[in-house]
Amino acid sequence: MRRYWLGLLFFSGVVVGQPKEYSVKEITDRMQKKYESIQDASARFTQHVRFGFSKIEQSFAGTLKMKKPNRYRVETEYQTLVTDGTTVWSFSPVNKQVLIDRYKETPDSFTPEQFLLNLPSNYYATLLQPESGSEKSVITLKLVPKDDQSFIKSMKVWVDEGSWVVKKVEMLDVNDTEKTYTVQEIKINTNLRDTTFVFTPPLGTEVVDLR
């Protein structure tokens, strides 16, 4: 599994009202409870990447679909990544090639299950002051991995107070590459079909099976 590609799933919406004071535990508990209520979701997102060594920046948009347990489909103009929880398909339309491998989670994988359900045990979390010009309903957390060997150095997570879904995630890794995911739109619990999470290579595609 590529690092981070599953890291967008929890998301988005705006809640009107005045924010109140919450402890970090109250915030993470509500985020976990919200995720537990989601069986499937579809989202549009944008990703911005700033590479630490070269300082080159890239931005692109994509769509993501997920269904519990461990089924995901992420599509951008550069790549399509699909897993049914057993098999992973990585398709490059430019190269007309699909790589097939077994699905496996590693400590560096960034999935909702690993992130939200294990957040208190895996990260030190602190509540940040509201940013200038930010929506009053948005709560910002800074997360630092407890594991010194983690590929992620730190994260910032923007959470909608009231709906308890993540609107934005910013990650800094050990190579000082910064990735920012912003959710544009989300639909939750629309009963996505299981066939959404199986990939059929287009005619003329080279198939490389790594299993």
In this structure, is residue 10 part of a structural domain? no
When divided into structural domains, the chain yields a total of 1
Tell me: the pLDDT tens digits for 122-135?
A: 899 999 987 765 66
Which whole number is the average pLDDT over 168-174? 94
Q: Please check whether residue 19 lies inside any domain of the structure.
A: no
* Residue 12 in domain: no
For position 99, what pLDDT does the model report? 97
Q: Would 14 be classed as within a structural domain?
A: no
Model pTM above 0.75: yes
C-alpha torsion angle, residues 148, 4, 14, 27 (rounded to 10): -30
Establish if 89 belongs to a structural domain: yes
Whole-number Å distance between alpha carbons of 137 and 126: 17
- Residue at 7 is within a domain: no
**What is the domain-level CATH number for residue 116?**
2.50.20.10
Alpha-helical segments (H) within the chain:
24-36, 112-117, 119-122
User: Is residue 203 assigned to a domain?
Assistant: yes
State which residues form the domain around 92: 24-209
Any idea how long the chain is?
211
Residue 179 lies in a domain: yes
